[in-house]
Structures are given as structure tokens and as C-alpha cells.
Amino acid sequence: MILRALPLLAGLVASAIAGAQAVDTVKSEEYAFRVVRVVEGLEHPWGLAFLPDGRMLVTERRGRLRVIREGKLEPQPVAGLPQVAVHGQGGLLDVALHPRFAQNNLVYWSYAASGSDGIGTEVARGRLVGNRVEDVQVIFRQQPKGASGNHFGSRLVFDRAGLLYITLGDRGEKERAQTPGDHAGSVIRLHDDGRVPADNPFVGKAGWKPEKFTLGNRNMQGAALHPETGLLWTHEHGPQGGDEINVIRAGTNYGWPVITYGVNYGIGTRIGEGTAKPGMAQPLHYWVPSIAPSGMAFYAGDKFPRWRGDLFVGALKDQMLVRLKLDGEKVIREERLLKGRLGRIRDVRVGPDGYIYLLTDEAAGALVRLEPVP
């Protein structure tokens, strides 16, 4: 049923942005493509989701969930969200649809929220009815919280079995990423209603948070399912260098801050014990110096057929889109696109129409679309 609906959804998205205007043409190794501005005037947009009726949902970090309809930004944000704590890098973050959204209208969002022990990442869900969410439930609360304004994560991805993955940062307190009884610096894995799967790797293990699926992650702001294997891939910010791409596997320790290819900011001194240690995973790929990655998507559409299977990563620091050519779990080529042309790229998505969509993280940010030049 979902597959039969895809052509309709693709057509709705295409018609919704028919009035958008191209602002640039770019020549890449494989294609010439246009950069089309769909919507402007978004305040630090963070996450993007495509609704079956052709509308799009966009989060703004200051706490607003916005709707784009027929290529125009609706003036009123979606009502009914819980209070968002806008603090440092925290605010309203990612947005995702339930795999059976067409039947249940459930939308999920991650955000920073206040509690008695500070501020931390939470995840809520609600039914989208018109321009509001109803029956809102908070299904995950990071514990403990903290005072820092750094490293909240956070991406939301459903796998093929309908389980929800939440990526969390270390909150700028690196030792928390190796602490069993702390959610920080981990991938979290839950049922769609917040229950803990019985086969999570640390269930029943004394002192461990049962929601944890991994540990040793610094600050994951990109996550996507591999289109063939169905495995979750993430990327995370390193410190001064050492940004990583990882394939997420149950119970794996990804090393931060014991091992890293980054160094301490400013002074360049070593962090932890070096770049490798038994029992800790090596990244699939890493960047030195840092590109400050954010947002990530595998390309599986039909508009850029020579890009099928490639991984696209946005970059904040270098204001670019990185295309990675893969051979299994190995990067065999890297191409850097749009450097300095759009600003800080916060999110990367492939639409149901096969085009690539980007969000730019600016005070007056934009949603743009990449389309091939015939």
C-alpha cells in the first residue's frame, strides 16, 4: 500500500514547489544541477519531514514546528507542542513520521526540555490534526539532564521493524559517553510508544540504562538507514578534527573520549589514549580537519541515477554538501559540493519525488532543492 502511494506523494511534492525559483547552477563530477529555493525566512531550521499529502514539516530551533504547503510557508506554526527549552545548541530539533502515519497521523519530534536536574533531550509524539498536534505523549526523557548548552544530538530514525532510534550527544561532558547509567553519548532504541525492546543489548545488566543501544558517541547530528542493509548509519562531530561516520551495531562502544582522531580545541593536545583500543570500534570514515557534519541521507531516488547508493552529508563549518561514493562499508571517493554557496547546511533529505532537499541553518534559513539540469 505504501509503495502504491509513492507516485501520488511524489507528484504532490513536485506540484507544491512548482513556483520555486532557481538561484544557482552547479557542475559536479556526475551532474550539472540547479539549486532551487523552495522557502526562505526559516529561523535556524533543523529537521524536515514529508507528509503524504504533499505538505512538509520543518522544525525551527527556537521551538516552532512549521508547515510548508504548495511551496509557501504557513504563517502559523503547529500548535500543541510541549514547552521547548532554547538553550545553547538545544531547542526544537528533529521531526519524523511514524511508519504508519497514513493510518495513525503520528508525528515524533526531539527537543531540549527543562527538568529538576537541568536541560536534556526529550522525544514526544502526537497526532497531527489540521494545524495542531493532539494526544501528545513524551516517550523519552534523557537522564540525567545537565547545565551545559552543548551536544544535544539529535536525529530520529525508524527502522524497517518500526523501532525508533534516537541519537544523543554527550552534552559537552565527555566522560558521560562512557557511563553505563547515563543516556548521554548514546544511540537510544525504543518501540514506537517508548517501551524498551527486550533485545536491547543492556537490558537486565546492572547499572545500565536499558534504552541504550550503543555508547562512546560524542554528538550525532546525522542518521539514516542504509537502503540495502537496513542498518542505521550515523555521523558525529569530533572535537578539533575527528568527525566520524559509523555503522551502528548493538552494544558497540564507539570510543569517545577514550579514542578519537580529534584533538583538544585551540591547544591541539591529545584526547584520551590515542586513535585505537581493543574493544572499541573504528569509524567507517573520518575527517581531519573537522567539517562539522549535520544531516545525512542515502540517495535512492530516480532523478540522479548515477548517485544511487551514495551518501550525502551536510557540513556546518565548511558550508557544503559532501557526496561519498561507497563500496559496501568503505568510502572510495569524496566529492565536495556547494562550498560557501548556501551557508551552513543543517539537514539533508531525499524527497519522495527523488530530489535532494537541504535546510540551511541561518537566522533567515532556507529550504532548497537540488534538481538535475537536462
pLDDT-based confidence at residue 6 (cuts at 50, 70, 90): very low
Is a pLDDT exceeding 70 seen at residue 159? yes
The predicted model gives 118-123 an average pLDDT of: 97
Tell me the pairing of strands 331-337 and 56-60. unpaired
The predicted model gives 359-367 an average pLDDT of: 97
Domain count, the chain: 1
Of 4-18, 199-213, 270-284, where does mean pLDDT reach its minimum?
Answer: 4-18
What average pLDDT does the structure give for the chain? 94
Residues making up the chain, counted from first to last: 374
The predicted model gives 296-311 an average pLDDT of: 98
What domain range is 308 assigned to?
Answer: 2-372
pLDDT-based confidence at residue 121 (cuts at 50, 70, 90): very high
218-262 pLDDT tens trace: 999 999 999 999 999 999 999 999 999 999 999 999 999 999 999
Give how far the C-alpha of residue 106 lies from the chain's centroid of Cα atoms, to the nearest Å: 19
pLDDT-based confidence at residue 268 (cuts at 50, 70, 90): confident
d(CA 85, CA 69) in angstroms, rounded, equals 27
User: Residue for cell digits 561516520?
Assistant: 245
Predicted pLDDT at 2: 37
d(CA 218, CA 26) in angstroms, rounded, equals 33
Amino acid at 249: R
Contact 154, 94 (CB under 8 A): yes
Contact 189, 201 (CB under 8 A): no
Predicted pLDDT at 22: 63
> What DSSP element (H or E) covers 3?
helix 2-16
Contact 94, 112 (CB under 8 A): no
Q: Grid coordinates representing 174?
A: 565527555
Of 19-23, 164-168, 198-202, where does mean pLDDT reach its minimum?
Answer: 19-23
pTM of the model: 0.93
Residues labelled catalytic? 151
pLDDT-based confidence at residue 19 (cuts at 50, 70, 90): very low
d(CA 13, CA 169) in angstroms, rounded, equals 33
Give the sheet arrangement for strand 64-69, strand by strand.
Answer: 45-50, 56-60, 64-69, 72-73
Predicted pLDDT at 21: 64
Q: Grid coordinates representing 87?
A: 538553550
**Domain containing residue 152: CATH number:** 2.120.10.30
Is a pLDDT exceeding 50 seen at residue 129? yes
